Amino acid sequence: MEMKVEIISKETIKPSSPTSAHLRRFAISVFDQFAASVYIPLVLFYADAPRAGPEIHETLGRMKSALSETLARFYPLAGRIADNVRVDCTDEGADYFEAQVTGIGVREILQSPDPDALKLLLPVDIDSPESFHGRLVSVQSSFFVGGGVAVGVCVSHKVADTSTLSSFLHSWAAAACGGGSVAELPAPDLSTASTLFPPSEALSSLRPGKMLKQKCQSRRYGFRPAEIAALRARAASSIAAQPTRVEAMSALIWKCAMEAAASSGRSLLAQTVNIRKRMEPPLAPSSVGCLISYFTAKLDENDEHQEKDLLPMLVAKMREGMDDFLGNYAKRLGGSEGFSTLCELNERAGELMRTYGPSFYSVTSWCRFGLYDIDFGWGRPDWTSICSSEFKNALVLMDARDGEGAEAWVMLGEAEMAAFEKDRDLLRYATPNPSAWTGPCQP
């Protein structure tokens, strides 16, 4: 049967306490000003949530109360973007939906996830203009007939990145499971981003543009720890003696994508960088905002790679790209040159996208953000996922539930995907759409 999702209720969750008058005009950072006007999506599956009865209603009641408390702590997320310089913290709150899923059970969707169907478990379209003009946070709790809940969360990229989303969700879950555990979490750092990277009035009139979307297909691949270890060993070189798992997986997918596109040997990879870790001194993980930049790795026709294994070369180029970013950009971001440096990086990104066109790839890592530790009262999630996307040549890496394996979400054009998913080198290391079911073999 086809999965159907019916919204059965909608309400607005407002902060549990009003924002003080002196905090109502919240300055965003220059990073936020440049951020794309899209939502960051995440779906968390809890297969053991009961089908009905007082227990699930009690947990959902705690979740909504905890969301209200968490919005008070992260008060800008309950506001609205007034312009591209500030958020008006008027406590308008977050949208909260409850939905009923029919036609499929939670076990079936976890055993064979459908990237397109997962969109139905999100409260809003990823590219909705609401991410700039409306709600900054939306939540949808979807109930499966035979038991199990999927919690879909969307947070505007204009005020958050994956690190901020993770901090928000951990705070929310801790409040839902008992107020004492909230005290153990670091308070959200709401001021550092705009203090170190103040907004520019020159960007106040900048309005969201349309993200470049193209007809493409999304595929999900699983990497087990043993395959990751073998891939890392293969990708090692004198420049990168111990490649990280993100470097090794990114290089493999980049290589296979280029081959699927019958590339001439000229290509570029842009990888996002969480600048919290790259500043001197590093910023706290609890720093709120879209605090990301990127580095690039280029493969040109004159690179001698025809007779060699491309993996070590690609990882080496990624390592060189990161070193270039750290040496020539990261230190300038936090100083008086911060705004001009960001303008330079964004202008450079545009030029590279125009130059490399269909050979331009992007990668984002969601690894090591503790997304499998988000417990609202039903235990750890059985699976955390994103969904299909129309942003071509994109790669998103995520942790597997065991913390050692990983998942890769790959978005390519239809023709390229047809060749990519048959690549023997890819299939040596990656399992197409592995089961995310963690329950017993028998229902």
The closest alpha carbon to 12, from 78, 86, 59, belongs to: 78
Q: Are 94 and 12 in contact (CB under 8 A)?
A: yes
Euclidean distance between CA atoms 390 and 116, whole angstroms:
11
Locate tokens 């499998």: which residue?
372
303 has catalytic annotation? no
Euclidean distance between CA atoms 384 and 381, whole angstroms:
7
Question: Given the DSSP bridges, would you call strands 137-144 and 94-102 parallel, antiparallel or unpaired?
Answer: parallel
Q: Are 13 and 67 in contact (CB under 8 A)?
A: yes
Output the CA–CA distances (angstroms, integers) from residue 158 to 266, 305, 371, 425, in the order listed: 32, 40, 21, 38
DSSP characters over 365-434: E-TTS-GGG--SSS-S-SEEE------TTEEEEEE-TTSSSEEEEEEEEHHHHHHHTT-HHHHHH-EES-
Listed in sequence order, the DSSP H helices in 275-359 are: 310-325, 331-333, 338-356
116 has catalytic annotation? no
The closest alpha carbon to 376, from 46, 43, 9, 12, belongs to: 46
Euclidean distance between CA atoms 373 and 128, whole angstroms:
28
Which helix (H) or strand (E) covers residue 295, if one does?
strand 292-299
Dihedral angle, C-alpha 341, 272, 43, 370, nearest 10 °: -100
Euclidean distance between CA atoms 443 and 439, whole angstroms:
8
**What is the CB-side half-sphere exposure of residue 174 using CA atoms within 13 A?**
17
- 3-class SS of residue 284: coil
Q: What are phi and psi of 110, to 5 degrees?
A: -80, -30
User: Out of 157, 161, 170, 399, which one is annotated catalytic?
Assistant: 157
Q: What are phi and psi of 118, to 5 degrees?
A: -65, -25
Euclidean distance between CA atoms 365 and 250, whole angstroms:
9
User: Out of 88, 125, 375, 425, which one is annotated catalytic?
Assistant: 375
Can you read off the two tokens belonging to residue 154? 């969307």
Please report, for the chain, how many H helices and E strands are present, in that order: 14, 16
Catalytic residues: 157, 375
